[in-house]
Amino acid sequence: MKKPRYLVDHMYTADPAVHVFNGKLYIYPSHDIESGIPENDLGDHFDMRDYHVFSMETIEGPVTDHGVAIEIKDIPWAGRQLWDCDVAFKNGKYYLYFPLKDKTDIFRIGVAIGDKPEGPFIPQEAPIKGSYSIDPCVFRDDDGTHYMYFGGLWGGQLQRYRNNKAIECGHEPADSEPALPSRVVKLSADMLEFAEEPRGVVLLDENGSVITAGDHERRFFEASWMHKYQGKYYFSYSTGNTHKLCYAVGDSPNGPFTYKGVILTPVVGWTTHHCIVEFQGKWYLFHHDSVPSGGKTWLRSLKVVELEYNVDGSIRTIDGGGA
């Protein structure tokens, strides 16, 4: 497929995480709703309250909506805002990882367990100890180890932390200082906790220097994703206020990663968020834009388009269709 395809037309969906389970593609997106909350830089207007799970047997075929997999009212520690999630499989169980503000309005990451990839998912009583911020992405390496990547600036609250500790007044570093990184952490054997302290996902420029906070064209903002191609680890992410999806490549799931380029130019809408998956011999980029809602940045729609690599392993840039 050379042209992007919209996937869901009966509701607004965004922030896709996609995996192949049982020979099918399973899509785990955010569920956008019209909350009536004014738009602001903290993302209060993204007041999502449940997750639907979707599946596809072929990339061109119909999309099945399996209905609600979990609702905010079912989560004991819930405050508000059920943002981007991801799912992993281990030992016959499916683990749904989700960011959610607790009753004190602090984002934590929770986990819920299901017997089937479409759910339903039963949440644990409390969030993962030591978790914070948003956008969990779970990657299974070839040796069976699972890693979680997470973090997001501004409304995602990552600027409120240094070395996994909350600071008095959350702020981004000065432009000349190293940018705040995404986090990576190995998960415990039971998939319910962190097995270690999260560490920073270091992004380097072509000269081996750490990308700075003022480099908004390349610095991490949110939407971590990890995939492996030809033995290399590809860390991809959103630049946020410059509206690009970029990627960096490394030799270890922990990094460091060297910046390589832009995967997707800006789309219609403010946010850009994605995942990359191989299916039936080809690679695909799942992402979203706000075209079907007439450009409403908080009402987004899922798309998929084929992702292509050059011989040297670099990714060919895709036109997002935005400004």
For residue 101, what is the domain's CATH number? 2.115.10.20
For position 1, what pLDDT does the model report?
62
Is 319 part of any domain? no
Q: Give 187-236 pLDDT, tens digit per residue.
A: 999 999 999 999 999 999 999 999 999 999 999 999 999 999 999 999 99
Q: Running DSSP on this structure, what letter comes out for residue 156?
A: G
Average of per-residue pLDDT across 273-290: 98
Q: What is the mean pLDDT of the chain?
A: 97
Residue 323 has pLDDT above 80, yes or no: no
When pLDDT is cut at 50, 70 and 90, the band that residue 2 belongs to is confident
Query: Which residues belong to the active site?
Result: 15, 222
When pLDDT is cut at 50, 70 and 90, the band that residue 3 belongs to is confident
Average of per-residue pLDDT across 168-186: 96
CB 269 within 8 A of CB 295: yes
CB 187 within 8 A of CB 87: no
When pLDDT is cut at 50, 70 and 90, the band that residue 256 belongs to is very high
Q: Give 112-163 pLDDT, tens digit per residue.
A: 999 999 999 999 999 999 999 999 999 999 999 999 999 999 999 999 999 9
Residue 185 has pLDDT above 70, yes or no: yes
Is 93 part of any domain? yes
CB 286 within 8 A of CB 16: yes
Is 321 part of any domain? no
Q: Give 41-56 pLDDT, tens digit per residue.
A: 889 999 999 999 999 9
Both tokens assigned to 84: 């981007």
Is 104 part of any domain? yes
Is 316 part of any domain? no
Which amino acid appears at position 262 of this protein?
V
For position 214, what pLDDT does the model report?
98
Is 219 part of any domain? yes
Residue 186 has pLDDT above 70, yes or no: yes
Both tokens assigned to 311: 């011989």
C-alpha 251/C-alpha 156 separation (Å) is 28
Average of per-residue pLDDT across 255-281: 97
- What domain range includes position 240? 5-307
**Number of domains composing the chain:** 1
